[in-house]
A and B are shown apart, each in its own frame.
Chain A
């Protein structure tokens, strides 16, 4: 259980890291928090010839407000995201969900960018990026581009990034007024990857009707799963128990495709999705009402 040999680079600027990446191509792998990459290297599931360590690049580690968005550098640690006051105030969904990501010792090292690029279908951050309509900034040697979260996650452990690109920044719009939120998951042990999890958002209009809703699931397919039909069914309605239950039934039966694992069958995951959707929608609705 020891990693195979590799060459090691520790650039101190983003430009240096980008040059190394374009020079060495597929042979080089970026090392962020290492909380997913190093276990895979210890098991020799991956054997990169070269690591480009991003940990000395201080310009990639920040969280700041900018107008009505929050800008988060890709190397911000998950633990900093969890405790940041701007995130708690303007994207409370992310603040509330963050303690569900692994254990404190892992969050101290793991980064927001690493988890997003890793694109594990069971991870919380990709789900939260979709729920919050995040935009992701990628850079390579010749320029930069913005990618919407919806287009970023293209499959199991797969993203829209090109091999020569580095994710540098995450842009999080402030959650709109009159929006309630909720995140719930079921894990065998606190800090483990969850069997099922849901992020729910409900925005009410002046009259207290549902202006828009969002339901995004983890461990429910080959990436974060956005249950658009169930969310759409709530739009324009005065939300009540019956509507919430039928949205939950629709999402858990028709919009997710859980695979099951050693801890759970797909049927049990669907059951959890149904129960968690009802609970999260109720909590989000209540919070949206309180914020009016």
Chain B
């Protein structure tokens, strides 16, 4: 058994201090230690995108980062997007209105990828949206409604 490390991480603007073993993945830390189960886990090798979170504002795979590496850093998960269930983020609202999800397994990872994307590229073309979505697998929707939802969000945000 390896030594555990004490880490302090800011998640959704709240600070948490916990003891973790170095091998604990950030995805498992968020889900099991903090109870933030909005971050989903599919493949644990970076391919599916379900575990995507924002790490200091940039989208990254939480299954490919150890929790110890996030010591002192700022993380945003899907739980950090809406202040209240009646006050959704415009991207979430768009997914609702445009039917951008079915089972919802892929949705948190897609939202956490599209927020920085729309910040960088507020008026994306359909082609750019599809490219930006290439790192997130969805087994339900066939992507069309996800693309529509991202387009709608771009209109709402701008």
Binding site for B on A (CB under 8 A): 1-8, 10, 34-35, 38-39, 42-43, 51, 53, 55, 79, 102-106, 108-109, 189-191
Q: How far, in whole Å, are A227 and B78 apart by their CA atoms in the complex?
A: 48
Residue from A6, A102, A104 within 8 A of B23 (CB atoms): A6
CB distance from B124 to the nearest CB of A (A): 13
Known contacts A35-B46, A105-B52; is A7 also within 8 Å of B2 by CB?
yes
Known contacts A5-B23, A8-B2, A42-B44; is A191 also within 8 Å of B59 by CB?
no
Q: Can you give 28 A-B contacts (C-beta < 8 A)?
A: A2-B28, A3-B23, A4-B23, A6-B22, A7-B2, A7-B22, A8-B22, A8-B66, A34-B64, A34-B66, A38-B25, A38-B63, A38-B64, A38-B65, A39-B45, A51-B22, A104-B113, A104-B117, A104-B135, A105-B52, A105-B59, A106-B61, A108-B55, A109-B61, A109-B65, A189-B134, A190-B131, A191-B135
**Nearest A-chain residue to B21, judged by Cβ:** A5
| Chain A residues closer than 8 Å to B117, beta-carbon distance | 104
| Chain A residues closer than 8 Å to B49, beta-carbon distance | 103, 105
Contact of B25 with A2 in the complex, beta carbons under 8 Å? yes
Range of interface residues on B (Cβ < 8 Å): 20 to 34
Contact of A106 with B23 in the complex, beta carbons under 8 Å? no
Contact of A105 with B113 in the complex, beta carbons under 8 Å? yes
CB distance from B137 to the nearest CB of A (A): 9
Q: Does B155 contact A (CB under 8 A)?
A: no
Contact of B64 with A10 in the complex, beta carbons under 8 Å? no
Q: How far, in whole Å, are A34 and B58 apart by their CA atoms in the complex?
A: 16
Known contacts A42-B45, A51-B22; is A35 also within 8 Å of B64 by CB?
yes
- Interface flags, B43-59, vs A, CB<8A=1, else 0: 01110010010010011
Residue from B21, B45, B59, B66 within 8 A of A43 (CB atoms): B45
Q: Does B3 contact A (CB under 8 A)?
A: yes
Q: Does B60 contact A (CB under 8 A)?
A: yes
Residue from A4, A7, A51, A105 within 8 A of B3 (CB atoms): A7
Contact of A39 with B46 in the complex, beta carbons under 8 Å? yes
| Chain A residues closer than 8 Å to B3, beta-carbon distance | 7
Contact of B135 with A34 in the complex, beta carbons under 8 Å? no
CB distance from B113 to the nearest CB of A (A): 6
Contact of A8 with B59 in the complex, beta carbons under 8 Å? no
Contact of B60 with A5 in the complex, beta carbons under 8 Å? no
Contact of A106 with B46 in the complex, beta carbons under 8 Å? yes
| Chain B residues closer than 8 Å to A38, beta-carbon distance | 25, 46, 63-66
Contact of B68 with A8 in the complex, beta carbons under 8 Å? yes
CB distance from A254 to the nearest CB of B (A): 34
Contact of A34 with B131 in the complex, beta carbons under 8 Å? no
Contact of B60 with A109 in the complex, beta carbons under 8 Å? yes
Residue from A2, A43, A103, A108 within 8 A of B134 (CB atoms): A103
Q: Which 10 A-B pairs have the closest CB atoms?
A: A103-B135, A8-B22, A39-B45, A190-B134, A38-B64, A108-B58, A3-B23, A5-B2, A105-B59, A1-B44
Q: Does B17 contact A (CB under 8 A)?
A: no
Contact of A191 with B46 in the complex, beta carbons under 8 Å? no
Q: How far, in whole Å, are A203 and B54 apart by their CA atoms in the complex?
A: 43
| Chain B residues closer than 8 Å to A109, beta-carbon distance | 55, 60-61, 64-65
**Nearest B-chain residue to A42, judged by Cβ:** B44
Q: Does B147 contact A (CB under 8 A)?
A: no
CB distance from B28 to the nearest CB of A (A): 8
Contact of A105 with B60 in the complex, beta carbons under 8 Å? yes
CB distance from B157 to the nearest CB of A (A): 19
CB distance from B78 to the nearest CB of A (A): 15
Q: Does B132 contact A (CB under 8 A)?
A: yes
**Nearest B-chain residue to A41, judged by Cβ:** B23
Known contacts A5-B2, A42-B45; is A106 also within 8 Å of B22 by CB?
no
Contact of B60 with A108 in the complex, beta carbons under 8 Å? yes
